[in-house]
Structure 1
Amino acid sequence: MRDDAYSLILAAIESGTYRPGDRLVESELAERFGVSRTPVREALQRLETQQMLVRDGRSLIVASLDHNQLAELYVVRAELEALAARLAARHATPEEVRVLAQMVAEDQKAVGDPEALARANKRFHRQIHLASHNRYLVQQLDLVHRSMALMARTSLAAEGRSETALAEHKRIVDAIAAGDGDAADRALRQHISMAWETRLKLEAQADHD
Structure 2
Amino acid sequence: MSDLSIEKQAPYYIQFYHMIRQMIFDGKYQPGERINETQLAKEYNVSKSPIREAVRILEKEGLLIVENSKVFVYEPTLKDVKEIYYCRMALESFAVRLTTKIASGEELAQIERTLDETEAAIRMKKDDNTIITLNEKFHQLILAFTDNAHLQKQVYDLKGLIHYFRVLNFKGDRRGDDILEQHRRIFAYIKQRDEEKAAQEMIHHLELDTEHLVEVLAPDEEK
Q: Does TM-score exceed 0.5, indicating one fold?
A: yes
Aligned-pair distance for 1:27?
Answer: 4.8
Determine whether 1:70 maps to 2:81: yes
Q: Tell me what 1:177 maps to.
A: 191
After superposition, the Cα gap between the structure-2 partners of 1:103 and 1:35, relative to the gap in structure 1 and judged at 3 Å, is: farther
Equivalent AA in structure 2 for residue 118 of structure 1: I
Specify the alignment match of 1:190 in structure 2: 204
Equivalent in the alignment of 1:104: 115
1-structure distance, mates of 2:68, 2:33 = 14
Aligned residues: 208
Q: 2:98 aligns with which of 84, 87, 99?
A: 87
Deviation at 1:91, TM superposition (A): 2.0
3-state SS, counterpart of residue 154 of structure 1: helix
**Greater Rg, structure 1 or structure 2?**
2
Q: Per the alignment, do residues 152 and 205 of structure 1 end up closer, same or farther by CA in structure 2, a change over 3 Å counting?
A: farther
Corresponding residue number in structure 2 for 1:156: 170
2:77/2:217 contact within 8 Å kept = no
Once residues 40 and 185 of structure 2 are traced to their aligned partners in structure 1, the CA distance between those partners, rounded to angstroms, is: 42
List alignment gaps of at least 5 residues for structure 1: none
**Distance (whole Å) between structure 2 residues aligned to residue 92 and residue 124 of structure 1:** 14
TM-score (norm 2): 0.78
Structure 2 stretches lacking a partner, 5+ long: 1-10
Contact 2:34-2:70 within 8 A present in 1 as well: yes
Q: Which whole-Å CA distance do the structure 2 matches of 1:93 and 1:36 have between them?
A: 49
Shift of 1:131: 1.3
Residue 40 of structure 2 corresponds to residue 26 of structure 1: no
Contact 1:90 1:181 in 2 (8 A): yes
Overall identity of the aligned pairs, in %: 26
Instruction: Choose 39-48 or 93-102, whichever is displaced more.
Output: 39-48
Structure 2 vs 1, CA of residues 94 and 28 (structure 1 numbering), >3 Å: closer, same or farther?
A: farther
What do the CA deviations read for 1:158-190 (whole angstroms, capped 9, x no partner)?
A: 223321211111111222222221121011111
TM-score, normalised by the number of residues in structure 1: 0.82
In structure 2, the residue corresponding to 1:110 is in which secondary structure?
A: helix
Deviations 1:34-68 (A, max 9, x none): 87532221221233344331135543011122111
Q: Which amino acid aligns with 2:131?
A: L
Q: Deviations over 1:109-138 (max 9, x none)?
A: 333654432222112211111111111111
Q: Which amino acid aligns with 1:143?
A: D
